[in-house]
Amino acid sequence: MLEKALSGSRTYWAWMFSLLVVIGFAAACWYWQFTEGLTITGLSRDVVWGFYIAQFTFLVGVAASAVMVVLPYYLHDYKAFGKMTILGEFLAIAAVIMCMLFIFVDMGMPMRIFNVFLHPTPHSMMFWDTVALGGYLVLNVLISRVTLQAERRGNPPPSWIKPIIIFSIPWAVSIHTVTAFLYSGLAARPFWLTAILAPRFLASAFAAGPALLILLAFVVRKFTDFDPGKEAINKLATIVTYAMIANCFFVAMELFTAFYSSIPEHMHHFQYLYMGLEGENTLAPFMWVSVILAVVALVLLLNPETRNRETSLALACAAVFFSLWIDKGLGMVIAGFVPSPLGKVVHYSPTPPELMISLGIWAIGLLIVTGLYKIVLEVRGEIRH
Amino acid sequence: MRNAGMIIGGLIIFLILMTSPIWYNALFGTSVEPPKVESPPNGSTECVEQVEYMRAFHMDLLNEWRDKVVRDGTRDYVSTTNGRAFDMSLSRTCMDCHSNKADFCDRCHTYMAVSPYCWDCHVEPKEAL
Amino acid sequence: MDSSRRGFLKIAGLSVIGAAGGSALVARGSETEPAESSHDDAPASQGTRLAMVIDLRKFSKNDPQLKRIVDACHTTHNVPDFGDDTKNEVKWIWPEEFETAFHSQEFHYVRDDLQGKPTLLLCNHCDNPPCTRVCPTQATWKREADGIVMMDWHRCIGCRYCVVACPYGSRSFNFTDPRPHIENLDPAFPTRMRGVVEKCTFCEERLARGLQPACVEACDNDEIVFGDLNDPDSKIRQLLSEFMTIRRKPGLGTQPEVYYIVEDPRSMQEMAPAVVVSEEGGNHA
């Protein structure tokens, strides 16, 4: 079936080729980073994790969100999602690969990555995150392959895949929980030391992921004969709505605890994010854009008319995605480091090479998603020839 | 088989390319002697272990020393050859005698196209710097 | 794709995974097993428990002794000097102002002599270190025998999780090759390479040769006292029983083992020489 990704229309090849050009430039930047070191990024002694790890954190959420289509369909027999599950699984595959690539480019000694497997360390959450993500990738590759192959042959999938699919549901929840555990168990970082971090991660994942899935479904429908169906889209939109409400509620809870307790260690990080601290306010404009986008999204999503109309829904989904990308992919990680453990306010902003490498990894993700979607659409005969 | 000509032809070209180091050197190359390494400049003739053993296993020995010193915190090594005690240190023990790194270590390493990353951290003896 | 081509790809893929996994298993089997590592707050029952007392009374602002102490450490261990570059800087021991070193105290009024007082900061070699708990490869671990939080620069993958987990900012990452920034390269000790995290190791290589840590040796007036907490007759235990000491962020449960003497008992004596400290601790000044 893989060969189906290697043939296509002019539009298909133009898109894939432009992605490859971006990836090429990013690879050159990464090679420069590989020889010079991470000094070419905006990272510093106090802000040791930045844009790369922020992207990783956001994308683990996107990967986990496949469960939002898998759970209703397989556990509750919600037939309307029948056509969407594989799109969710393919998106998960691309997202997990992007996660792994972002970790790889962030490491000081990437050639020593094997050490994580040679010296397994059960008391380290990073070890378990590696296990969880690796396992999730294997699960999704297996599940998507087996179900798609069965669909292609016109058979129902083999019965042994069903328990594996059910197993992937708690596994999906666990990958984002363990990623939250990377942060929420650290006494050194009061901004992250909160029990609500894992629930917040999951809520934002289950909003951003399905929002992206809706947008991808619309894009695919524009170029092919694929049609997810009104019911599937509406149900996904409902899921996005509730998840977004939960996420915004959790953020509000965090703000209350920080500011009502007025504990400086907790307040300072939020102040840095939204107002700036000691003149350092790089992230503030971004955070307010995120807030505005969240409000716009909620207004559009809560009103059933705008939620069910595709133009406003697409706008709402884009707003959700970018709002949460800013919140998780920019704000959450960096604010953990400012102020530093010694109370110092330091500056961080990603450098152009850092951004280029990140763009290249996003391009790789898009490449994988496009290729995999092309395969399933060819199998279903929905490509216009 | 279909396309037999292309497949067999391709395999033959592949084999020719892959064995090229062997036949090229046999036909056109000058015969290359295995490298001869210089003895320690300080005149020492007794190494930690016997020469044949060191030639084959110095990498394993150094790995063992690395783990014992860094991870176990032990630094004393007793030679199985001559019973002498040594401080398990690349820089202080090995390079104390083999201070001519360029004429000793590098000769074989360059010949074998091996670049151990020891020297990224362990400081090379001053003669080599 | 017809089934034989798919079959070939399947076998090829499984062989690659098998070879990689197999070689990993073989490599693990032939590896020397590392010594017991401890990352929990195991009570200091056996062996030594190394710790440090830093006497802040003995430091004044612009004290040249500070530079001497820092340089002793940094030259012994080939720590690179990046000057004013706080982005790439690497430091094992360094002075901060008193209010910054103990900033979680949120000082509003500070005794005159303590304002801006230089306070030497370094790795605390905690008894319950969060950094060793998070390391995914055990490239950093707490030694059972003496309590030193050790670094293995051969194994470190440079993920910087330990830097994130350290509440004291004691760890530095090598963002770039340190060699060009080392003025006097000492061949007796290795440098580190670009891409690994480094910090004070309590001079474990000097301790193994019966020497004191470099920073301690640079002192001439017991500014830094180093010793074994498990030895009740040690100088450090004597200091800890005699003086009130504070530690950085003790409420986090890390059990840092670097103690700071702040109070000057002579001033206490001058204020109320006749007061006897009762069982209930009745001396409330």
Q: Domain range holding A136?
A: 2-379
Structural domain tally of chain C?
Answer: 1
For residues C70 and C223, is the Cβ–Cβ distance under 8 A? no
pLDDT at C170: 97
- Count CB pairs under 8 A between chains A and C: 140
Cβ separation A130–C89 shorter than 8 A: no
Q: What is the DSSP secondary-structure string of C114-154?
A: GTT-EEEEE----SS-HHHHH-TT-SEEEETTT--EEE-TT
Residues of B near C (Cβ–Cβ under 8 Å) read 63-64, 66-68, 70-73, 75, 91-92, 95, 117, 120-126
Q: A103, A121, A152: best mutation site toward chain C, by most C Cβ within 10 Å?
A: A121
The helix or strand, by DSSP H or E, that contains position A308, with its residue range, turns out to be helix A304-308
For residues C260 and C56, is the Cβ–Cβ distance under 8 A? yes
pLDDT per residue of chain C (285 residues) written in tens, 0 to 9:
556 777 888 888 888 877 766 665 665 544 444 444 444 433 444 579 999 999 999 999 999 999 999 999 999 999 999 999 999 999 999 999 999 999 988 888 988 888 999 999 999 999 999 999 999 999 999 999 999 999 999 999 999 999 999 999 999 999 999 999 999 999 889 999 999 999 999 999 999 999 999 999 999 999 999 999 999 999 999 999 999 899 999 999 999 999 999 877 555 555 555 555 554 444 444
pLDDT at A240: 97
Query: Rounded to whole angstroms, how far apart are CA atoms B61 and B15?
Result: 37
Cβ separation C208–B73 shorter than 8 A: yes
Q: Is residue C221 part of a domain?
A: yes
Structural domain tally of chain A?
Answer: 1
CATH of residue C163: 3.30.70.20
Nearest CB among A45, A49, A343 relative to C164 is that of A49
Cβ separation B68–C32 shorter than 8 A: yes
Judging contacts by C-beta atoms under 8 Å, the chain A residues touching residue C13 are none
Q: What is the pLDDT of residues A124-170, one digit of tens each?
A: 999 999 999 999 999 999 999 999 999 999 999 999 999 999 999 99
Q: Is residue C271 part of a domain?
A: no
Nearest CB among C188, C191, C208 relative to B121 is that of C191
List the subunits that have 3+ CB pairs under 8 angstroms with A.
C
Axis crossing angle, helix B20-27 with helix B4-18, rounded to the nearest 10: 60
Q: C284: distance to nearest CA of chain B, Å?
A: 47
Cβ separation C27–A118 shorter than 8 A: yes
Q: What is the pLDDT of residues B30-62, one digit of tens each?
A: 767 778 888 888 888 889 999 999 999 999 999
Cβ separation C28–A118 shorter than 8 A: yes
Q: Is residue C90 part of a domain?
A: yes
pTM: 0.90
For residues B77 and B86, is the Cβ–Cβ distance under 8 A? yes
Q: Tell me the helices (H) and strands (E) count for chain B, helix number first.
A: 5, 2
Residue of C nearest to A190 (CA): C167
Judging contacts by C-beta atoms under 8 Å, the chain B residues touching residue C189 are 91, 123
Range of weakest confidence among A250-259, A346-355, B115-124, C127-136: B115-124
Cβ separation A112–C157 shorter than 8 A: yes
Q: What is the CA radius of gyration of chain B?
A: 21
Q: Domain range holding C200?
A: 37-265
Q: Is residue A118 part of a domain?
A: yes
Q: C57: distance to nearest CA of chain B, Å?
A: 35
Q: B92: distance to nearest CA of chain C, Å?
A: 7
> CA angle, corner C143, sides to C32 and B96, nearest 5?
60
pLDDT at C27: 53
Number of Cβ within 10 Å of residue C62's Cβ equals 8
Q: C90, C154, C183: best mutation site toward chain B, by most B Cβ within 10 Å?
A: C154
Cβ separation C135–A187 shorter than 8 A: no
Q: Is residue A168 part of a domain?
A: yes
Q: A289: distance to nearest CA of chain C, Å?
A: 28
On the question of pLDDT at A35 being above 90, the answer is: yes
Q: C133: distance to nearest CA of chain A, Å?
A: 6
Q: Is residue A182 part of a domain?
A: yes
What's the mean pLDDT when you consider all of chain A? Answer: 95
Q: Is residue A384 part of a domain?
A: no
Q: What is the pLDDT of residues B67-101, one digit of tens each?
A: 999 999 999 999 998 898 999 999 889 988 998 88
Cβ separation A123–C156 shorter than 8 A: no
Rounded mean pLDDT of A209-219?
96
> ipTM of this predicted complex?
0.94
